[in-house]
Amino acid sequence: MSETEVIWQSSDYRFILTDEALFVWDTKKKDYQYLSDYMQITERFKDAETKEECCILTYATGYESSREQIELKGEQLQSNKIQELNKYGVAITQANKENVLAALLAMRKELPITKFYDYYGFRWDGNKSTIGFFGEKAWGFPDSENWMLASESRYNLHPSGSSETWWNMYREHIQGSRWLEFAVVMGLSSAIVGYLKLKEYDITNLFIHLVADSSKGKTTAAMLAMSVAGNPTTKKRGLVKTWQTTTNALLLQLENNHGIPVAFDELSMAPKGNLSDLLYSIADGTQKARATKNATLKATKNWYLTLISTGEVSIFSKVSKNTGLQVRIMELDVAFTDNATQAEAIKNVITKHYGHVMPDFIQGLYDRGLEHIDNVYEEEQKLCLAVLEDSALKQRLANRLAILTTKAKLMNEQWGLELDMENLRKQLVANETSIVDARSMEERALDDIISEAIQNQAYYHAPKTTNIIKTQFHGYVEVKGEQLVLSVLKQVCEDALTVRGKYQDMAIIAKAWKKAGYLQTEKDKTGKRKSVALNSEERVRMPFYELHVPQEYAQYFTVLGVSQEIAPSGLMTYTRQSNVTFPEVDIDEELEGF
């Protein structure tokens, strides 16, 4: 071959590539021979979720040295597929296809892999040894520079404008205005929610409803909160969504989000139907169970984040009273902006300059060490507990409020903003204690055990299921008429509510449940003994609390998502949680006096 610049050579020297052509070594002629016109694998990608690979093939078209690019799926780089690239004008023939394929595979092997993703926030790596954060780019991994947000991602997190302009706006219009400062805290707190949930702290999503008339700046506050992470509008995949959509479409906007804030504007436009069900699902971060056409269960998605809602009426005026939402949703009825001029000035900046603050904050977390979040959060929990009045909800409220005060403290540390931490705690405590419903103990305990069951539903079976593993069994779940019947093992229930929970006496709770009509028991008892089939020959009687609750909870149990023909057989398909420990049950001891 004539002398020309080699731009690539295979590690075994079998192939070389120039700007004009691909050559292969001829062992007989002891020289490189022409194989095809120029073609080269220039980029290699892997879907971080599905593990599927694709690559970019750049090739000569044969017309005035022009170049084209096409995307190749992994399965196209096979002997029986490669010649199909002819239809794109790639110079592959029956005679050269085997050598061309070998050259392309060699090129692909030598390229670094760029992993693209369409999930967000904090996540463990595959070995659960490293925590990464996924936003407009990735943090936390040695090869973070080789991770890339998918081009068709749901959120527009690409920074726009300048960070300096955003901070100038903050100093002029936000600093010193406590509720506008809090709007920024809300937006950045989403990352803290994602991290703490990943570390298995006892928290739920931050669901904050801003209620006020149109002159108090609630929409401006929501947009300001979103501007820290990305596009704060409803356009071009912005982080501000609208309640005016279907339930499924709304929840799809949240799936696999573990740290990026999302806002839904104008609650009055929410989907028609049972709003309580939708809000419950959003707040707990879990979609309802769904089955495929052949009755196998779809994997459920989750989300851990801060979600901001806006509306001109209280969210609690639109929901039923028995769903536990009043301890899951924070509501703020305050004036965020002083006047329309201030609101307009803020919007003019944040719609053009956004997406800079959260990446800067995340980088600061990694520079300091993520364990610092744990330390600050645990300290803030204690401070919030100290200013909350005693109640059965005290710990839950402290856990929630500490997320926000943790975020504010971290902002002070990183940027020296001088947010008034003591006053913020007092304001949040005063707001929460004035809104949270003082429901009866039995309703709070019922709500807690239902939530516990939903979180650990892989260990609940349909009645008549056989071959149950005793140490991996929490109870039964079924629908009877208009109610969901949740039969929880006595020890599992007591462990959740009194050992790990906030209640002191299970007997008092059980009596209250029975009096309220939730608990069905044997005569003069607080529970029921049921026969559990460990296998086809062995059955044991075990003590349960049999709870009859509203059927609205049924949608959250995947075991009820299979067909009625399959359910009794025990052939359910579901994913077990790996972080659950099971107490050994002494049947004789448990049955004594039950």
Q: Tell me, yes or no, whether 371 lies in a domain.
A: no
What percent of the chain is modeled with pLDDT above 90? 52
Q: Where is the domain boundary, 339, 356, 373?
A: 356
In a domain, 35, yes or no: yes
Flag whether 374 is in a domain: no
Express each pLDDT in 138-177 by its tens digit: 999 888 888 988 877 889 999 999 999 999 999 999 999 9
- Is residue 389 assigned to a domain? no
pLDDT band at 567 (very low <50, low <70, confident <90, very high): very low
- The whole-number pLDDT of residue 359 equals 97
Q: Rounded to an integer, what distance in angstroms lies between the CA atom of residue 189 and that of residue 203? A: 13
pLDDT (tens digit per residue) in 167-178:
999 999 999 999
> How many Å is the maximal CA-CA distance in the chain?
99
State the residue range of the domain holding 219. 163-356
Tens of pLDDT, residues 433-481: 766 544 567 777 898 899 889 888 889 998 888 888 888 899 999 998 8
Dihedral of CA atoms 14, 18, 21, 23 in degrees, nearest 10, equals -10
Does any domain span residue 339?
A: yes
pLDDT value for 307: 97
Is the same domain home to 145 and 79?
no
- 502 and 488 within one domain: yes
Fill in the DSSP letter of residue 260.
-
Say if pTM beats, i.e. exceeds, 0.95: no
First-to-final CA distance of the chain: 91
Which CATH number characterizes residue 288's domain?
3.40.50.300
What are the tokens at 251? 């929840």
Instruction: Report the C-alpha gap between 475 and 225 in whole angstroms.
Output: 42
Do residue 30 and residue 130 come from a single domain?
A: no
Neighbours of 43 (CB within 10 A): 16
Q: Residue type for 52, please?
A: E
Q: What is the mean pLDDT of residues 513-538?
A: 85
User: pLDDT tens across 232-250, in order?
Assistant: 999 989 999 999 888 888 9
**Any domain includes 395:** no
Q: 123 and 106, same structural domain? A: no
Do 170 and 283 lie in a common domain? yes
> Which of 356, 386, 419 is the endpoint of a domain?
356
Percent of the chain's residues with pLDDT above 70: 89
Query: Has residue 538 been placed in a domain?
Result: yes
**68-84 tens-digit pLDDT:** 999 999 889 998 899 98
Long-range contact list for 465-468, CB < 8 A, 24+ apart? Answer: 465/533, 465/568, 465/569, 465/570, 465/572, 466/533, 466/535, 466/536, 466/570, 467/533, 467/534, 467/535, 467/536, 467/570, 468/532, 468/533, 468/534, 468/570
Kindly state whether residue 382 falls inside one of the protein's structural domains: no
Whether 121 and 107 map to the same domain: the answer is no
Co-location of 65 and 134 in the same domain: no
- Tokens standing for residue 266: 């104008």
Q: Judge if 249 and 324 occupy the same domain.
A: yes
Which of these three, 329, 356, 383, is where a domain ends? 356
Same domain, 46 and 170: no
Judging by DSSP bridges, how do beta strands 39-47 and 53-60 pair with one another? antiparallel
Using DSSP bridges, classify how beta strands 240-242 and 262-265 pair: parallel, antiparallel or unpaired.
parallel
**Are 200 and 327 part of one and the same domain?**
yes
C-alpha–C-alpha distance, residues 276 and 439, integer Å:
17
For residues 406 and 361, the answer to whether their CB atoms sit within 8 Å is no
Per-residue three-class SS string for 534-564? CCCCCEEEEEEEEEEEEHHHHHHCHHHHCCC
Same-domain check for residues 249 and 300: yes
Band the pLDDT of 565: cuts 50, 70, 90: very low
The number of distinct structural domains making up the chain is 4
Reported as a single tens digit per residue, the pLDDT across 14-60 is: 999 999 999 999 999 999 999 999 999 999 999 888 888 999 999 99
Residues 170 and 228 in one domain: yes
